[in-house]
Structure 1
Amino acid sequence: MSKELLLLWLVTELWCLYLTPAASEDTVTGFLGQSVTLPCQHSSWSRNRNSMCWGKGACPNSKCNQELLHTDGTKVVSRKSFKYTLQGRIWRGNVSLTISNTNHGDSGVYCCHIKVPGWFNDVKKTVRLELRRAS
């Protein structure tokens, strides 16, 4: 392989890594029938520049699949049900989702998608919820 071809391949691979958004995943365990909170925070939250959504399923490139809740940066502007709330201080970047009265259908993967201005800056966090019977 020539040096030029090797260099081109290396630059291409590094560029692809640079453009791939970072996503993190946590697992939260809760009990059926109780409330559970799925963590999501953004340390440099700005009321005027950030908005976010929570969705059920893996994080897509933009927005949220099966959107459960959406904020405009200061308050919740839409929600699928009153079962889903944000009890933290949104304006401080605490957008952790609380799900009340959980049932089997609530188990699974959730996505916290925080919009950050600029290309490829969005924060995407995947949280897996596992629910068990209370003993």
Structure 2
Amino acid sequence: MVKSVLLVCFFILLLIEASVQETVQGFIGESAVLPCHPGTRQLTVITAHWRYEDRKNVYDIQNGKGTTKEQDPEYKGRTETFPTEYSNGNFSLKLGNLQKGDEGSYCCFIPEFGLNECVSVQVEEKPRGIQENPGSNGGVETTAGRIVSLLIPLFSIALLLCV
């Protein structure tokens, strides 16, 4: 009985861990902010690399400075980061003029920690009649918060069963 409960707990926790990859949704022609926050670790060298599908160079931050020197041409003029936030551990990337072809997985790699944070991007046509709210994030919506809020009760039950 104990073994079966532990096995169930293991699979539930595995499912929770696998389901929390963040998804950013945006609209064609607008911008999306792709988050990269490795935590509150103290950074001595500020270096981060953004890649699309592990194939294309989207943006590099080297020694605290953004560079597009080796950037894939399809991202030229469409990327920006927030340099004043680097020291706070924020290496988020703003990707402008979204196109359907921008859909996929974007990863932020921070070599100093061997950290690889990935986010899935979904791009949709902007529905007719929807006007942009000045307080909104340019039509961008993240779903990780909703997923986590749905998984909290499941995690609580799993925790109760495991204890």
Identify which of 66, 88, 95 aligns with 1:76: 66
Identify which of 36, 39, 45 aligns with 1:40: 36
The offset of 1:82, in angstroms, is 2.0
Q: Which residue of 2 aligns with 1:25?
A: 21
Normalised by the length of structure 2, the TM-score is 0.56
Summarize deviations over 1:9-50 as a string: whole Å, max 9, x none: xxxxxxxxxxxxxxx73111111110001110122142x324
* Cα-Cα RMSD: 1.8
Q: Which residue of 1 aligns with 2:121?
A: 129
- What is the one-letter code of the residue matched to 1:27? T
5+ unaligned residues in a row in structure 2: which ranges? Answer: 1-19, 128-163
Q: Which residue of 1 aligns with 2:158?
A: none
5+ unaligned residues in a row in structure 1: which ranges? Answer: 1-23, 59-64
- Structure 1 segments, 4+ long, off by >3 Å, are none
Q: Which residue of 2 aligns with 1:54?
A: 50
- Higher relative helix content: 2
The percentage of aligned residue pairs carrying the same residue is 24
Normalised by the length of structure 1, the TM-score is 0.67
- Higher relative strand content: 1
Q: Distance in 1 between matches of 2:104 and 2:62?
A: 26
Q: Which residue of 2 aligns with 1:93?
A: 89
What number of residue pairs does the alignment pair up? 101
Q: Distance in 1 between matches of 2:89 and 2:28?
A: 28
